[in-house]
Structure 1
Amino acid sequence: MVTRRTPLPGVGTQYDVATRDGRHISVVAHEDGRRFVSFFAPEDPDACACTVPLEPEEAARLASVMAPERAEAGLGVAELGIDLVTERIPIEPDSPYRGRPMGDTKARTRTGASIVAVLRRTGAHPSPGPDFRLEAGDTLLVVGTREGVDDLADIVAGV
């Protein structure tokens, strides 16, 4: 089985899988968490036979069904009754936090969500401190409850 990973700037990443029997499956993982799974005709690996769009929750459920041993070996968050999400939040040019230190967002205090990394064209910045300056085009990698992450997205957008 062969897997090829192709970055899609501004969109996400495409993963192409060729199975041992010659079938071609493609997954496009969008930056916003959506996934598109495409199946290609065995007789023509360039002809898409079907595409299935999946929302983030649907993709996570499918992944847990496809590889339950990995889901069971995870952090056990579901067992504790805590629903955590991981999401990417862009810093738009009109964000009130563009050019300001990340600590000005008071993200964890106001929302309970944590900014675990800042993704920038020049590279990833894991565990950024409060003095890390945000720039337009940055993407925040955030972990928290659904409500906390949504609230943080609103704060960063200036809503």
Structure 2
Amino acid sequence: MLRIGIRSAMDGAMCVDINEVLLPGVGLRYEFVNQEGDRIGVVARRSGYFELVVYEGADPDEARAVLRLTEEEAGTLAEILGAPRIAERFADLTKEVPGLSAGQIEVRAGTPFAGRLLGETRARTRTGASIVAIVRGEEVIPSPGPAHVLRAGDILVVIGTHDGIAAVEQIVQD
């Protein structure tokens, strides 16, 4: 169970419990109960699609699909719903989990991965640290996939151990 704190200028601070369920062969399902008592889920499929679902009853497999989004559409929706606060939320998370840190790494012009795919870094496989967002000017790309092209000036938001973050920095800048 993940616990995510969300701050709003209107209602102060509140926490939302998010249940994460592995769906073998399908992907991951994230679900939570909203303020009105509705169970809402997001199915992140291995195919790259996302489905927003609403549960009709207590059965977690009995859900009505509300939206089906591509990775790009899901990213756009996340930005609209507040993804620019993603770095702040992860910074809060790292305070709650001992040994977990958040870092920001700039992709500089002339470095090996400027203009190349994020997946080519193999950062998570090589370091255990995850690139959870790319900040590109005013735009935030949450949960970037391996097909995202890195550009000079991008800021990578990385979550992992201190050593893992340093290793990602070395990969990206060497």
**What's the TM-score once normalised by structure 2's chain length?**
0.45
Larger Rg: 1
What TM-score, normalized to structure 1? 0.49
